[in-house]
Amino acid sequence: MELAYALVPFFVAFAETLTWSHKFEQKYQISPLAKYPWRLASLSAHLFFYLRFFILPFVFAENILYEAAKVATTAAVGGGYLAFFFFLSHNFDGVHFLQGSYPNGSVSYPENSSFLIQQINSSSNVGGKILCFFNGGLNYQIEHHLFPRIAHSHYPTIAPIVRDFALNKGPELIRYTHFPTILDNLSSVFSYLDKMSVKPHSD
Percent of the chain at pLDDT > 90 equals 36
Q: How far is CA 163 from the centre of its chain?
A: 19
Number of H helices, E strands in the chain: 10, 2
Residue 39 pLDDT exceeds 80? no
Q: Provide the β-strand partners of residue 154.
A: none
Quick one: how far is CA 143 from the chain centroid?
10
* Alpha carbons 94 and 174: distance in angstroms, whole number: 11
Q: Cβ–Cβ contacts within 10 Å for residue 174, how many? A: 21
31 or 114, higher pLDDT: 114
* CA 46/CA 10 separation, integer angstroms: 8
What number is the average pLDDT over the span 4-20? 72
Q: Of 65-74, 100-109, 129-138, 139-148, give the lowest mean pLDDT range.
A: 100-109
Q: If pLDDT is split at 50, 70 and 90, which confidence band does 29 have? A: low
pLDDT at 23 over 60: no
pLDDT per residue as tens digits for the range 76-92: 888 888 889 989 999 99
Partners of 21 in beta bridges: 29
Alpha carbons 134 and 187: distance in angstroms, whole number: 22
Q: What is the pLDDT of residues 144-164, one digit of tens each?
A: 999 987 889 999 999 999 999
Query: What's the mean pLDDT when you consider all of the chain?
Result: 82
Residues 6 or more apart in contact with residue 187 via CB below 8 angstroms = none
Closest CA to 125 of 173, 158, 97, 172: 158
In whole angstroms, what is the distance from residue 49 CA to residue 98 CA?
39
